[in-house]
Amino acid sequence: MAGWLIFFGGLSGALGVSLSAVAAHHPNGSALVSGAQMLLFHASAFLALGALVRLEVLGARTIAIGALLWAVGLALFAGDLSWRALAGGRLFANAAPIGGSLLIAGWLWFMITGLISLLGGRKSD
């Protein structure tokens, strides 16, 4: 699983830098900045999850659920903003807000599992 998390970290980082470059030169570039920022912020987070898997700080299932929320959230959020700016349309109605909500849900997932771990004094599965 660590390999997949590192892959998503690299993919997210590469897409974030690429989107930032496009934003700097595109007439609708300001619409791309939020998507680029979300991708870049989460690139580091995916890499950290890869380390947590290797260190066995959290259970693999716990990490997989949060990572899936982030991956789908990023695809919808950054994808919809990019599609709007570059193609003039939407992925589908409310794609960006759904994606943003999934990103928040992923962070809350890790917050709750961390709290459970603190209170229970054990690794979360």
1-59 residue pLDDT tens: 899 999 999 999 999 999 999 999 998 888 899 999 999 999 999 999 999 999 988 88
pLDDT (tens digit, 9 = 90+) per residue, 56-89? 888 899 999 999 999 999 999 999 999 999 998 9
Packing angle of the helix pair 95-120, 60-87 (nearest 10 deg): 160
Residue by residue, DSSP assigns 12-61 as: HHHHHHHHHHHHHHSTTHHHHHHHHHHHHHHHHHHHHHHHHHHHTSS-HH
Buried b / exposed e across 55-65, counting CB within 10 Å, b at 16+?
A: eebbbeebbbb
